[in-house]
Structure 1
C-alpha cells in the first residue's frame, strides 16, 4: 500500500494541476481563435471574377483567345473552370489543378459562392471557393493551405512551450503557496506534538489575522487553556480532598490506637468512655462517607446523570423539608410551596435543596422560611449572615468561612447545590437578608402546570 502524500505535496499538486489546466484551456482557445482568423484571411483573399464580363473572359481564356483587359489570378491562387461535362480548364500559369469531387460540383451556388476544402493533384490541401457563373460553368478558386498549416504548427509549438513553462511555474508557485499557507499549520502540528510529548498545557500558538488558520490556532489555545484549567481544578480537588480527609483519618487512627492499647495492656476502658469513643468513631466514619459521596458527586462528568424527566419541584422541596426536619427537630421550618414543574434529575435536585436546608438549620437561631413561587425557591435563615467579602466564594469547593471552620462540614454542600442547579439550567445565589441572616435563591426554568 503506497504511502499517503503529505498535505503540502497534495496542495502543490492541486495548484499545479489547476494552473496547468487553465493554461491548457487558454492555449487551446488561443490556437482555435488564431486558426479561425487565418482561415478567414485565406477565404477573404479568394475572389472569383463576377458578372458577364468575368464569364466572357473565362470562356475566351479557356478557348485559347488572348484577353488583355483582365489579368490572370495571383500566383498563390488556383483558378479552375469546370463545365457541365466535367471538363476542366486551369486559369493561370501555375498548372496546378484542384481535384474536383461530386460534392464540389453538385449544386455550386451562384452569387458569393461557398467555401469548401479540397486537394490538388499531388495531395496538397487547399481552400476552395466554388461558384456558378452561368453558361453551365462552375468556377473553383483555391488557395494552398501549406503556409496556413505551417503557421498553425509553429503557433502550436509556441503555445506548447508556453504551457510547459507555465506548468513549471505553476509547480513552483504551488510549492511556494503551500509552504506559505501551511506554515501556521506546521506550527500548530509542532505545538500539538510538543503537548503530546511533554504534556505542557501552557503551550500557546501566536494568532495572526482572522482567517481559518488563525481561528484554528485560537481554538487550539482555548482547548489547551481549558485542559489546563481542568487539570488545575483536578489538582486542587485532590489536594483539598486530601486535606479534608487528613483530619478524620487522624482522629480515627488515634481512637483505634487507643482501643488497641487498652486491649494490649490489659487495662480496659471505662464502659462509658468506650461508648463515647465508639460513638465518635461512628460519627467520623459517617463524616468520611459523606465527604467521599460529595467528592464523587462533584467529580461526576456533566453528561453522566440519570435521564432528565419532568419533576414536580414542589414535591422535591417538600421531601427535602421533611428530611431536614428529621435531622434538626429543634429548628422549625416554615414552608409555603406552589406548584412548579421542571426537567431534571429528581435525586440531584432533592440533594441540593437538602444541602441548602442543612446550611440554614446549622446557622439559624430561629425558624427557617422556605418559599416556592413563580419558579423561584428561597431558603431564609436567621443566623449571623455572611460577610460581604466572602459571598463570592460560597459556591467554591471546600471553601468555608473562617467563623464556621469549627463546625462540622466539608465545604462541599453549596458546591453540590451550584452543580445540580447548573445541570438543570437554573441559577442560584446567596445573599444577606434584610434584618439579619441569609437567603438562598434558586430559579429553575419550568411551568406551574404539568407539561
Structure 2
C-alpha cells in the first residue's frame, strides 16, 4: 500500500486530480450499477414467483385432465400452457409430467410434503437433468374423481427456467459494464481537462516564481480573475512581490543615502588627517590656532560619524520587527530626563516645561531616544537666546521652537529617511532622527505630527501616546 501511495504522490497535480475524479466516478457508477442490478434481479425473481403462483396450470380443470392422462383414462393430454413445465407429484414422490415435456423434473422432499398434506405449498429451485435451473412452485389441490367416488388431494408442481431471470440480468450486466466504462473514461478525460483549465493560474504562478528566482525581477504580476482560492493565491503573490520590490527599493535607497551621508564626514576627516600627516612629513608646523581648529573639526566629524552609525544601527531593524519588551513607564519622567540633556546642548536657550503625569506602555530606552531627538531638533533650529516650550497634557507631548519653521510643501517628507530640508543641510545631522521617532511612536501605538506654530513662527512637534494603567506606589 505504501508503494502505490508513494507513486501516486509523485504524479503531477493535474494527473492526481484526474485520477481522483475518475476513481470517484468509477466508485459511484459501480455502486449505482450494482444497486440497479440487484434491484432488477429482485424484481425479476418476484415476477417469476408471482407468475408461477398465478399460473392457470394449477386450476382444477387442467389438473383433472392431466390426472386422467396419467391414469390412462384419457387418450390425449392437453399440453402445459405457455413456457411452463407441469407435473403431478404423488405421495410416493412419483411425478407425472405434462406434455410436451417427456421427462419429469426432479422432485424434492418439500414437494412430497405438499403431496402428503403436510404443507400447503412450497417455492424452491432445482437443477434439471440437463443442468438447467428451474424455479418450481408446488401447490396442494383437491380434485373430485368421479370414478373413485372421493375427493383426492394432489400436489401440482409448476416450473419455469431460471434463464427467464438470468438472461435479462446478463444482458443488463453487459450494458451496465459498457456504460460504466464509458462513464469512467469520460470522467477521467473531463477531470484531466478540468484540472488543466483550473490549474492554469497555478502554472502561471509557478512560471512567475521561476522567473523571479532566475531574473530577480520583482515587477512580474499575475492577472487575477474571480474570487476563488486561485485568485486569492495570485493576489497574495502579487502583494508579496510588491512588498519585496518595495523592500528592495528601500534597501537600495538606504544604502545609497547612507553612502552619500557618510561621504561628507569621511571626506572632511580625510582632508584634515592628510593636512596633519603632510605637516609631520614636511616638518612645517601648523599654527596652534589652526591646529586646534583642525582637531576640533576632526572631533566634530567623528562625533557626527558616531551619531550616523548609531542611527543606521537603529534603523537596521525592519519596520515590522517586534520592539523590545514593553513596560509601563512614566512619560513625564522620561521627558524630564531628556530635557536635562537638551539644556546641556543648548545652554543659551530658555527651555520651559509643563509636565502633567502620564503613563504609557512602551520600550523605555527607545521612547527616551525619541523624545531626545525631538528636543534636539527644537534646540538645533532655535535662534540664539530663543525659547523652547515643552508641554505634556493628557498624553499629548508638544515641543515648540521659535525657529524659521518648515515650509508646508516640505512637511510630508520630514519623516522620510535621510530627508533634510534645504535650509538645514549646513547643520549637523543625518536626517534619520525623525524617522526613528516616528517608528518608535508607532510601535507604542501613538502618532506624531509636525505643524507650523501659530503666532511668532517656529514649528510644533506633537506626540500622542495612549495611556496605560498607573503603576502601584512603591512600599
TM-score (norm 2): 0.85
Could you tell me which runs of 5 or more consecutive residues in structure 1 were left unpaired when the two chains were aligned. none
RMSD over aligned Cα atoms: 2.9
* Alpha-carbon spacing, 1:136–1:444, altered in 2? closer, same or farther (3 Å): farther
Name the CA distance, whole Å, in 2 between partners of 1:140 and 1:349.
107
**Match among 5, 26, 29 for residue 32 of structure 2:** 26
- Given the alignment of the two structures, is residue 125 of structure 1 paired with residue 143 of structure 2, yes or no? no
The 5 Å alignment of 1:225-244 reads: 225-244=242-261
Name the CA distance, whole Å, in 1 between partners of 2:341 and 2:75.
134
Name the CA distance, whole Å, in 2 between partners of 1:271 and 1:103.
140
The 5 Å alignment of 1:150-169 reads: 150-169=167-186
Aligned to 2:374: 356
* Alpha-carbon spacing, 1:32–1:96, altered in 2? closer, same or farther (3 Å): farther
1:15–1:174: 8 Å Cα contact kept in structure 2? yes
Give CA deviations for 1:126-183 in whole Å, capped at 9, x if unaligned. 2233444466544432210124212222221222222222222222222222221121
**Match among 428, 444, 447 for residue 468 of structure 2:** 447
> 1:98, CA displacement in angstroms?
4.1
* Alpha-carbon spacing, 1:147–1:393, altered in 2? closer, same or farther (3 Å): same
* Alpha-carbon spacing, 1:182–1:445, altered in 2? closer, same or farther (3 Å): same
Aligned to 1:220: 237
Could you tell me which runs of 5 or more consecutive residues in structure 2 were left unpaired when the two chains were aligned. 1-5, 143-151
Name the CA distance, whole Å, in 2 between partners of 1:83 and 1:309.
109
- Given the alignment of the two structures, is residue 376 of structure 1 paired with residue 393 of structure 2, yes or no? no
Name the CA distance, whole Å, in 1 between partners of 2:278 and 2:43.
117
- Given the alignment of the two structures, is residue 204 of structure 1 paired with residue 217 of structure 2, yes or no? no
> 1:194, CA displacement in angstroms?
0.7
- Given the alignment of the two structures, is residue 399 of structure 1 paired with residue 419 of structure 2, yes or no? yes
Give CA deviations for 1:305-336 in whole Å, capped at 9, x if unaligned. 42333333333223222222232233233333
Between 88-97 and 205-214, the greater mean CA deviation after superposition: 88-97
> 1:72, CA displacement in angstroms?
4.9
Give CA deviations for 1:345-383 in whole Å, capped at 9, x if unaligned. 211111111111111122234332323333322222222
Name the CA distance, whole Å, in 2 between partners of 1:342 and 1:96.
111
Aligned to 1:173: 190
* Alpha-carbon spacing, 1:338–1:90, altered in 2? closer, same or farther (3 Å): farther
Name the CA distance, whole Å, in 2 between partners of 1:109 and 1:310.
99
* Alpha-carbon spacing, 1:79–1:299, altered in 2? closer, same or farther (3 Å): same
TM-score (norm 1): 0.89
Name the CA distance, whole Å, in 2 between partners of 1:83 and 1:132.
11
1:376–1:441: 8 Å Cα contact kept in structure 2? yes
1:334–1:367: 8 Å Cα contact kept in structure 2? yes
Between 164-173 and 352-361, the greater mean CA deviation after superposition: 164-173
**Match among 332, 337, 344 for residue 326 of structure 1:** 344
Aligned to 2:80: 73
Name the CA distance, whole Å, in 1 between partners of 2:336 and 2:446.
19
1:80–1:90: 8 Å Cα contact kept in structure 2? yes
Aligned to 2:312: 295
Name the CA distance, whole Å, in 1 between partners of 2:443 and 2:203.
39
The DSSP-based 3-state class of the residue aligned with 1:378 is: strand
> 1:16, CA displacement in angstroms?
1.8
Name the CA distance, whole Å, in 2 between partners of 1:444 and 1:84.
111
